[in-house]
Every structure is written in structure tokens, then in C-alpha cells.
Amino acid sequence: MSQKFQEIIDSERPVLIDFFATWCQPCKVQSSVLNTVKENIGEGARIIKVDVDQYPALAAQYGVRGVPTLAIFKKGEMLWKESGVHDVNTLTNLLQQYV
């Protein structure tokens, strides 16, 4: 996964990573928000979900201590990271800054 993950975040296109867990109720809320964000942003950015229980080393590498944690990468650089549930407008506006 880490090689594939690196290829994804090295992209010219911004990538929003959703670090989540299947047992996490707020993560389910965030997931439905991200569906709308994807519709708003279209092909301008990618949204990828990473299950912290399946990829704990990846979560640790990026300092994920709670879920949901969202991070935006572009050209391999982390541009933004925050834990908690975020609304559609906040995330759409954030991603549009980096498109």
C-alpha cells in the first residue's frame, strides 16, 4: 500500500485522504459529506479513504491519532491536516484552493 499511496499523493492533482475506521460513527457522517464534496469538485481533486485498522503504519506515518482525520496532499507534500468531521463547504473551498 505505501508504494501505491506514495504514487497517489505525488500527483499534480490534489488528493484528500480520509483516514477512517469502520467502527467510527463520525467517520460514517464524514463519508457522506465527502460524497457531496466529490460531486462539487469533480475531476479537480481525488478523494481516497484509508482504513486505519488495515493500514496502521500509514496512519502512524502521518500522525493520525484520531478518526476521522482528513489530509490534503499535492506533489507529495501534506498541505493541510485536521481531525474531526468537516462540512461540505469547508472541504470544497479548501480543495479548490489547491486545484
The residues that are catalytic are 24, 27
Distance of CA 90 to the CA centre of its chain: 13
Bond before 68 cis per omega within 30 degrees: yes
Sign of CA dihedral 41, 46, 52, 56: negative
